[in-house]
Amino acid sequence: MSSVISSLGAALLLAAAVPGVIHAQTFPSKPVRIIVGFPPGAGVDIAIRLIGPKMAESLGQQIVVDNRPGAGGNIGAELAARAPADGYTLFGGGAPAAISMTLYSKLSYDLLKDFEAIALVASVPQLFVVHPSLPARSVKEFVALAKKAREPLTYASTGAGSSPHLVAEMLKLQAGIPMVHIPYKGGAPAIVDLLGGQIQFVVLDPPTVMPHLKAGRLKAIATTAAKRSLGLPDTPTFAESGLPGFDTYEWYGIFGPAKLPKAVLTRLNVEINRIIKLPDVNQRFLELGAIPHGNTVEEFTAFLVAPA
């Protein structure tokens, strides 16, 4: 009996000393929720849903994508930051969350302090997209059209201060053209209004607009990348179109609330990296105009704190 008691005591001491190890052995024992701060169809939503089914297979639990759009992604980020740090609530976020930290003096979350960086999933250049009915097939033609228009052209973004908004404002300043900004809760509803003719153009991630481009319902005029996208080799860069200085990318990553158990953090990082490198997943990212990444927790953290 004394040996049994001693063994039990040793097990309890081990559990108290290394709770992360014990937690990792049972994780996950229920579905994992990934909060996305934009509507279904947004670039980050597409990326998370691309790897989600593979995560479900390897983890043995359902992966639930919880879309919480609004405030340029901040509503979803704030909700995820307040979640328990147990690995069952994650955050699918990206550049908008990082940009918000520089735009708002009062923000209820800090991307660096309130989250654990798990893995960088992918990065994408932004695309300048117009409706085919607009008589402009290049940046030069668009600028000339905008300058002659009786009223300023209207464009959509995924929220004030979002990457698309900032890119469009760069275009406005460099080209010296008047434009009216209309913020939306995400790229999908913006696309609906662009297709319906309520707005003239958008700046969005390739995954969001790629199906419409391939179907000929929309036209990509330029990309913000330094080089042409592998997914859209016929779309010139802004620099090629006569407006240098555009070399901007959106990025998508997966985070967990701060103080996530180390063992759980490591397991999630390993699984996500493995999935991103799968040939079918990697190829799908490229077809969507995205650059698949995957990295260590330390590398992703360094990426977040590196100067732009």
Instruction: Let me know: does 129 contact 119? Beta carbons within 8 Å.
Output: no
Render the burial of 170-196: b for 16+ CB within 10 Å, e for the rest. Answer: bbbeebebebeeebbbbbbbbbeebee
- Mean pLDDT across the chain: 87
77-105 residue pLDDT tens: 999 999 999 999 999 998 878 877 777 77
Give the residue-averaged pLDDT of 174-199. Answer: 89
Q: Fold identical between 19-124+250-305 and 127-247?
A: yes
Q: 23 falls in which pLDDT band (50, 70, 90)?
A: low
Burial of 306 (0-12, 13-18, 19+ CB in 10 A): exposed
Residue 5 reports pLDDT greater than 60 = no
pLDDT recorded at residue 219: 93
141-163 residue pLDDT tens: 999 999 998 899 899 888 777 78
The tokens describing 168, both together, are 């469009």
Residue type, 19: P
Half-sphere exposure of 13 (CA within 13 A, CB side): 6
Instruction: Let me know: does 203 contact 130? Beta carbons within 8 Å.
Output: no
Q: 9 falls in which pLDDT band (50, 70, 90)?
A: very low
Cα separation of 213 and 233, whole Å? 13
- Fold of the 127-247 domain: D-Maltodextrin-Binding Protein; domain 2 (3.40.190)
The tokens describing 208, both together, are 């969001």
The tokens describing 126, both together, are 């932004």
Residue 71 reports pLDDT greater than 50 = yes
pLDDT recorded at residue 6: 46
Instruction: Let me know: does 59 contact 32? Beta carbons within 8 Å.
Output: yes
Q: What's the Rg (C-alpha) of the chain? A: 22
Q: 271 falls in which pLDDT band (50, 70, 90)?
A: very high
Which comes out higher in pLDDT, residue 244 or 46? 46
Cα separation of 24 and 165, whole Å? 41
> What are the extents of the domains in the chain?
19-124+250-305, 127-247
Cα separation of 84 and 26, whole Å? 16
Which comes out higher in pLDDT, residue 182 or 6? 182
pLDDT recorded at residue 70: 84
230-258 residue pLDDT tens: 778 889 999 999 888 888 888 999 999 99
- Fold of the 19-124+250-305 domain: D-Maltodextrin-Binding Protein; domain 2 (3.40.190)
- The CA–CA distances, whole Å, from 288 to 39, 63, 133, 185, 232 equal 18, 22, 24, 21, 9
Question: Helix or strand or coil: residue 32?
Answer: strand
